[in-house]
Structure formats: structure tokens, C-alpha cells
Amino acid sequence: MDVLLIGSGGREHAIAWKLKQSPMVTNLYCAPGNAGISSAAECVDIKADDIDSLLKFAIDNKIDLTVVGPEVPLEKGITDLFNKYRLKIFGPQKDAAMLEHSKVFAKDFMKRHNISTAAYNIFNISEKDKLLSFLNETKFPVVLKADGLAAGKGVIICNSFSESELAVKEFFEDKIFGSASNNIVVEDFLEGVEASIFAICDGTDFIILPSSQDHKKINDGDTGKNTGGMGAYSPANKAVTPEVLNKVTTRIIEPVLKNMKAEGKEFKGCLYCGLMIDKNGDPFVIEFNTRFGDPETQAVIPKIKSDLCEMFLASANGNLKNYNLETDDNFYCTVVLASKGYPDKYDTGMEIKGLENIANNELVFHAGTKSINGKIFSSGGRVLNATGSSGVSLLDAINSAYHIAEKLNFQNKYYRNDIGKKGL
Ligand code: AMP
Ligand code: GLY
């Protein structure tokens, strides 16, 4: 099969690396890709959100399967478009992807179907005074969320009325996320342990990939600003025990699939459940995403022993029932190497050194890199992912990831020092 992967981050490098190992794959393309992905796939200079050019490429090159990495093309309806042309594609249609690109839809859907999530209220941009008087009387902390896509930055945890006032100003007046914050979800602050569960779905059936845990804050000890994710490990056995996983399956994933189908929004692709697990081991949905998580994917994908291309194809074809997921027993830990200043202002164009010192059993997935005249330079805030594994101990996987991280160098390299610690 000729396969087209869409995206350009660490998540897509991990997916490309694994797809490349599939005996089913003849040619692998990635649009637009990055310097690391180019060692596994032929990079094509088309942006991930240019869905018309992606369609043309898929038709011209007789692509047998397209795999969508990021959320924006899903919101733009790439799956609907490819389906119209009878092209196979892994990822949900636009109306099913609303579970991610409309928090209002996701919250109301969960409420309709009794799926555990934080209590919430929704306010439209025309209801600013009503929202402020609501916040004036509420108990803090509360969480304010932009309804639409905001590159993982549309969530503000407010500890006081004045913080929430500022957040409302940013959302409704400064419009830092444009129309994505025309509606705001205000929800109760949940306490507990966070975990990520990916369910690969075919509309009816699903398989659950190994659990993982992200580290969203920029600094050690989960402090500072929210980021796209600074590191992850898998499996997150301490947080996601077999009992918790059973509750996630019966209380969240099964009702989501059944009710999305009943509402005419059949869900195919990767359902990412961002969970808060409370002290009783009860899981609450913090958010749904409708694609793989980044950087969790970089720690989850290496655990998979079975064929990833076959899994994506089975999801698209609606026959996951016949797919046999095999995983290994190892722990994997991914440390994100970022450019100092991220998630705010940071420099790009720094030369990356040390890649030649990486051993065969060590994994480095590129996030924001580009190649110029044979040299590799940073091109984004999150630059590289060091993924370590040393068998069946999480501590060894963490040590291995940091060993790799120290071998890689670029100016202003920044990383957290405590990735995975919570899982020990
Ligand atoms: P999200 O983009 O929705 O995943 O939110 C980003 C981060 O904000 C999450 O990973 C949580 O750490 C935190 N968060 C979001 N909603 C809540 C909530 N209701 N209670 C506590 N923390 C939350
Ligand atoms: N790791 C968080 C996300 O992918 O949204």
C-alpha cells in the first residue's frame, strides 16, 4: 500500500517510524513532515490544513490510505472530503470530530449520556455581564475553556475572581483565540491524577492502546504555563489500574461510541480520553481529542508490536473486531527538548548536534526540525523527543530517556527534569 501521513510533529515521526516497519507499506509519504520524518518517509511540501491540495496529491499518487495526525484538518472536514472521493482515511468525519473541536458539544453530549465530567455552564460572547456576575458568586478555583480549537492553550485555571476577570477579557475582548472563544465553558476544578487513554475506533468496535500520562506544565513539579506537553510515559500503571481501565471502558468509551452512532455521528479514528481519576478511582473526562496525543504517542507507539498500518486500515474499513493488538511489556519514557522561552517567545534556527551519538536502541523523534544542506536546525518550540526504554522498569526507562536527552544539544535547550516521576 502507498500511505500518506499528515502532520509534522513528534507524534507523526513516531507514527511514521512504526508505519515504515509494516510489510504492508510500499511507499510512505508525509505532508509536510520534518527533518526526522524524512528518514522514514518522503516528505511532501503541503501544509496539514491544505485539505484540497492533500486530496489532489492522494488522487494523483493513488494513495491507498491516508492517516491524519493533527486536529485542524479533521475540523476542516478532510475525512468527509476523502470519503466523497472513495479514498481510505484514518480519522473521524467533521461532525464526529466535534468531540474535540467544540467543547460545548462535548460537554452537552456527556451530560445527555451521563458520562462523568466536571459540572459546567456555558456563556456566549453576548453574555459577558451574566458571566461576570456568575463568577462573582462562584467558588474558586474554576476552569475557563474556549469552545473551539486553541492549540492546547484555550484552558485557563483561575484561582480568584480577578484572575477569571482577566481570562474573560482575553477570551471575549482581546479574542486571543479568535472565534474559538465566542462561547466559554466554565467548569468545576477537578482534583486527582491525570491520564490519557487512546481508543482506536471503527464506529462500533474499539481497541484500547496502552495507557500514558502527559506532563502539560512547562516547569518541574507541574508548575508554570500550560504547554502542548513536555513529556510522557507509558504504561501509566499506577494511575490506570485494571479497575480504572474497566470503568473507563464501560462508563466512557462504550457509551461514547454507542451514542455518537445513535446521534448519526459515527466515530472512527483515535478517541483520546483526557482523564482525571479521583481518589476513589473514578475517571472523569477533562477533554476528548479526536486524534493521537503529542507527546504521549511517542511513548505509546513503541509498545505496539502488531502492525500499525493494518490497525489504521481496520479502523477505516470498520473491521477492528478482527484486529489483534499485541504490545510489549516494556516501559517507555519521552522527554521533550524544547527551546527556552516556549510556550511563549523562543528562537528557532539553532543547529542540533549529537544526533550521530544516538545508539540503535535509542529513539529520537523530531518535533520542530528542518534540514538545510545536510545539517539539522530547530524550527519550533518543541524541538526533539528523547524516548528511552530499558525493559520492564519505569525508572530504567526514565534514566534511558534522560541519557539520550543529554547527548542532544542545541542552544537554549530546555527540558523538565521530572518526567515520569509521578509513575514511580
Ligand atoms: P485541556 O486542554 O482541556 O486538556 O486542559 C489542559 C489542562 O488543564 C489539563 O490537562 C488539566 O491539567 C487542566 N484542566 C482542565 N480542565 C480541568 C478541570 N476541570 N479540573 C482540573 N484541571 C483541569
Ligand atoms: N498531549 C496533549 C495533546 O495532545 O492534546
Q: Summarize pLDDT for 26-65 with one digit per residue, the tens.
A: 999 999 999 999 999 999 999 999 999 999 999 999 999 9
Interval between CA 213 and ligand 1 midpoint (Å): 13
pLDDT at 80: 98
Assigned domain for 112 exists: no
pLDDT at 390: 80
Determine the atom of ligand 1 nearest the C-alpha atom of 154.
2
User: Residue 320 corresponds to which amino acid?
Assistant: L
Q: Is the domain of 174 the same as that of 220?
A: no
Interval between CA 11 and ligand 2 midpoint (Å): 10
pLDDT at 157: 92
pLDDT at 50: 98
Confidence of residue 124 (pLDDT cuts 50, 70, 90): very high
Q: Is 318 in the pocket of ligand 2 (CB under 6 A)?
A: no
Q: Are 306 and 240 in contact (CB under 8 A)?
A: no
Q: What percent of the chain has pLDDT over 70?
A: 100
* Secondary structure (DSSP) of 11-55: HHHHHHHHHHT-TT-SEEEEEE--TTGGGTSEE----TT-HHHHH
Q: What percent of the chain has pLDDT over 90?
A: 94
Nearest CA to ligand 1 atom 11: 286
pLDDT at 256: 98
Q: Which three cell numbers stand for residue 242?
A: 485494571
Confidence of residue 335 (pLDDT cuts 50, 70, 90): very high
For the segment 196-216, the average pLDDT, to the nearest whole number, is 98
Q: Is the domain of 344 the same as that of 317?
A: no
Nearest CA to ligand 1 atom 5: 155
pLDDT at 17: 98
Q: Is 285 in the pocket of ligand 1 (CB under 6 A)?
A: no
Q: For the ranges 62-76, 144-158, 220-234, 250-264, which has the lowest average pLDDT? A: 144-158
Interval between CA 324 and ligand 1 midpoint (Å): 33
Ramachandran assignment for 348, one of left (phi > 0), alpha (psi -120 to 50 degrees), beta (any other): beta
Q: Check which CATH number belongs to the domain holding 27 and give it.
A: 3.40.50.20
Domain end point (choices 72, 90, 108): 90
Q: In testing the pocket of ligand 1, which one of 104, 155, 272 has its CB within 8 Å of the most ligand atoms?
A: 155
Q: Is the domain of 306 the same as that of 344?
A: no
Confidence of residue 179 (pLDDT cuts 50, 70, 90): confident
Asked if residue 293 has pLDDT above 80, the reply is yes
List, edge to edge, every strand of the sheet that includes 120-124.
120-124, 183-188, 142-146, 155-158
Nearest-angstrom CA–CA distance, 419 and 202: 33
Assigned domain for 398 exists: yes
Q: Determine if the peptide bond prior to 295 is cis (ω within 30°).
A: yes
pLDDT at 153: 78
Q: Are 315 and 200 in contact (CB under 8 A)?
A: yes
Kindly identify the ligand whose nearest atom is closest to the C-alpha of 214: 2
Q: Is 214 in the pocket of ligand 2 (CB under 6 A)?
A: yes
Statement: the pTM of the whole predicted model exceeds 0.85: yes
Q: Is the domain of 313 the same as that of 287?
A: yes
Domain end point (choices 322, 345, 368): 322
Assigned domain for 109 exists: no
pLDDT at 226: 87
Q: Is the domain of 144 the same as that of 210?
A: no
pLDDT at 59: 98
Interval between CA 343 and ligand 1 midpoint (Å): 17
Among 271, 249, 118, 276, smallest CA distance to 194 is for 276
pLDDT at 143: 95
CA separation, residue 101 to residues 151, 189, 290, 307 (Å): 10, 21, 9, 29
Q: Is 354 in the pocket of ligand 1 (CB under 6 A)?
A: no
Interval between CA 321 and ligand 2 midpoint (Å): 27
List, edge to edge, every strand of the sheet that includes 42-43.
42-43, 27-32, 2-7, 65-68, 89-90
Kindly identify the ligand whose nearest atom is closest to the C-alpha of 185: 1
H-helix or E-strand containing 198?
strand 193-202
Q: Is the domain of 47 the same as that of 126?
A: no
Nearest CA to ligand 2 atom 4: 293
Q: In testing the pocket of ligand 2, which one of 11, 155, 214 has its CB within 8 Å of the most ligand atoms?
A: 214
Q: Is the domain of 177 the same as that of 221?
A: no
Interval between CA 248 and ligand 1 midpoint (Å): 18
CA separation, residue 336 to residues 171, 233, 280, 351, 386 (Å): 29, 11, 31, 17, 7
Q: Is the domain of 131 the same as that of 63?
A: no
Asked if residue 176 has pLDDT above 90, the reply is no
CB atoms within 10 A of CB 179: 11
Interval between CA 156 and ligand 1 midpoint (Å): 8
Q: Check which CATH number belongs to the domain holding 396 and give it.
A: 3.90.600.10
Q: Is the domain of 150 the same as that of 199?
A: no
Q: In testing the pocket of ligand 2, which one of 230, 287, 289 has its CB within 8 Å of the most ligand atoms?
A: 289
Assigned domain for 247 exists: yes
Q: Is the domain of 305 the same as that of 348?
A: no
For the segment 307-321, the average pLDDT, to the nearest whole number, is 98
Q: Is 116 in the pocket of ligand 1 (CB under 6 A)?
A: no
* Secondary structure (DSSP) of 338-366: EEEEEESS----PBPB-GGG--TT-EEEE
Nearest-angstrom CA–CA distance, 48 and 265: 23
Assigned domain for 312 exists: yes
Q: Check which CATH number belongs to the domain holding 292 and give it.
A: 3.30.470.20
Q: Is 117 in the pocket of ligand 2 (CB under 6 A)?
A: no
Strands (DSSP E) found in 230-303: 231-234, 268-277, 283-289
Number of structural domains (the chain) is 4
pLDDT at 152: 74
The residues near 359 (Cβ < 8 Å, ≥ 6 apart) are none
* Secondary structure (DSSP) of 56-100: HHHHHTT-SEEEE-SSHHHHTTHHHHHHHTT--EES--TTTTHHH
Determine the atom of ligand 2 nearest the C-alpha atom of 289.
5
- Which residue do the cell numbers 540503535 mark? 360
Assigned domain for 399 exists: yes
Q: Is 152 in the pocket of ligand 1 (CB under 6 A)?
A: yes
Q: Are 134 and 150 in contact (CB under 8 A)?
A: no
Assigned domain for 114 exists: no
Cβ burial 74-90 (10 Å sphere, 16+ → b, else e): bbbbbbbbbeeeebbbb
pLDDT at 302: 98
Nearest-angstrom CA–CA distance, 107 and 122: 9
Strands (DSSP E) found in 250-345: 268-277, 283-289, 332-343
Domain end point (choices 294, 322, 350): 322
Determine the atom of ligand 1 nearest the C-alpha atom of 153.
2
Kindly identify the ligand whose nearest atom is closest to the C-alpha of 334: 2
pLDDT at 368: 97
Q: Is the domain of 83 the same as that of 197?
A: no
Q: Is 68 in the pocket of ligand 1 (CB under 6 A)?
A: no
Assigned domain for 110 exists: no
Asked if residue 119 has pLDDT above 80, the reply is yes
Considering the chain, what is the average pLDDT of its residues?
96
Q: 380-424, pLDDT tens digit by residue?
A: 999 999 999 988 899 999 999 999 999 999 999 999 999 999 999
Q: Is the domain of 212 the same as that of 306?
A: yes
Task: Print the domain residue range for 68.
Answer: 2-90
